[in-house]
Amino acid sequence: MAKLRVLFMPSVDVDNTNAQSLNVREIALRLDPERFDTTLWYEREPDARLRSLPGLRLLQLPSRRKTLRILREMLAGYDIIAYIDYSPASYMFLRVPRPLRRAKAVMHLEAPTSQLANPSPQLRRLYEGVRAVCDVYTGITKFVADEFRDITRKKVSYILPVGVDTGLFTPPRMRSNESPVVLFAGTLIERKGPQYVLDAAVRFPNAVFRLVGAGREGFEEVLRRKIAQSGLTNVALEGPASQARMVDVMRESDIFLLPSRLEGIPKVTLEAAASGLPCIVFRDYETPSVIDGVTGFQVETMEEMMQALEKLISDQSLRQEMGVAARKHMANFDWNLVSRQWEKAYLEIAAAGR
């Protein structure tokens, strides 16, 4: 039986902390090399775990004419182009006559469509042009799949969640911070809600608040000004962190807080839960990574979020109880289990086209 040839679009550089890049690496590491030949892109230095693995090929992107190089590879006889993106190469590939391009273009929907806020005209054109004509659509959750179907009338064929490495993200033996440490991890942009973490720091001066992530669109400076104006001494803006560093950050914290209202399954909530942290998120996107009242809280309003945070800050026993439950819940999201769902879906997608 011929192996299935899969080209993943996100780059897999070791310093790339984008969720799609991290997901692709974990999936590629676990695809059966007896059944799959997998190709991955990188720009500078790939994740070392991906080197010299059977059935896996690494391609370095050139510094110039990237679009042409990517398009040429997309047309090189693959069965599946996975994680199709909104790049010019993808846009052009999807307009090549079907018999010439062969590969099934698979779009993995990882957040509600409204997450693309205020795009440039060019990005809007690419997004609409790619989204409209992919061959297969998968959703990270039923909520995301249903929202996409309602807006586009496109069928979402599979629900494919993302996972977490429960062998890497583990709880410490004990947590002994003198003051509860509340962690936010994510890109520092308005949509993710880090400004509300600062509001929480004002409200709960007896707790320590850590914000870990890269700034974008100048929003980090907005946060710095707010910290200075509020005279906050219990807040640290720590910048971006590698995955290895995030393991330690999670273990050093007590509570995970994510004030974003537009997500799918936030990867950081999986990592936090696997590390034994209770998580507080908004109910808007119905993430299965947090069981309300068991592994953390799903809230509807900002005031509810603050009330949930107060409960956890003031009650160490509750933090510990929810943290244990969160770690147990993550057995359902271990990458070794989740990747089998992706593998099965890819085999079915390819078989349907033969």
Whether residues 45 and 139 share a domain: the answer is yes
The CA distances from residue 290 to 131, 199, 350, in Å, are 29, 23, 33
One domain for residues 225 and 143: no
Distance CA 172, CA 42 (A): 33
CATH number, domain with residue 288:
3.40.50.2000
Question: How long a stretch of residues is the chain?
Answer: 354
Note whether 107 and 27 are same-domain residues: yes
Residues 259, 224, single domain; the answer is yes
- Residues 327, 340 share a domain: no
Mean pLDDT on 216-226: 94
Q: What is the count of structural domains for the chain?
A: 2
Q: Looking at the domain assignment, is residue 170 inside a domain?
A: no
Mean pLDDT of 90-110: 93
Residues 199 and 286 in one domain: yes
pTM as predicted: 0.93
Q: Is the pLDDT of residue 117 over 90?
A: no
In the prediction, which pLDDT does 230 show? 96
How far is the C-alpha of 192 from the C-alpha of 185, rounded, in Å? 9
> Considering the domain boundaries, does residue 174 fall inside one?
no
Tokens found for residue 127:
């997004």
Q: Is residue 202 part of a domain?
A: yes
Phi, psi (rounded to 5 degrees) for 106: -110, 120
pLDDT, one tens digit per residue, over 257-286 is: 999 998 999 999 999 999 999 999 999 999
Whether residue 126 is contained in a domain is answered as yes
Helices 302-314 and 194-203: crossing angle, nearest 10°? Answer: 50
Domain shared by 8 and 152, yes or no: yes
Please state, in angstroms and rounded to a whole number, the distance separating the CA atoms of residues 185 and 269: 9
- 142-158 per-position pLDDT tens digit: 999 999 999 999 999 99
Residue 265's domain spans which residues? 181-333
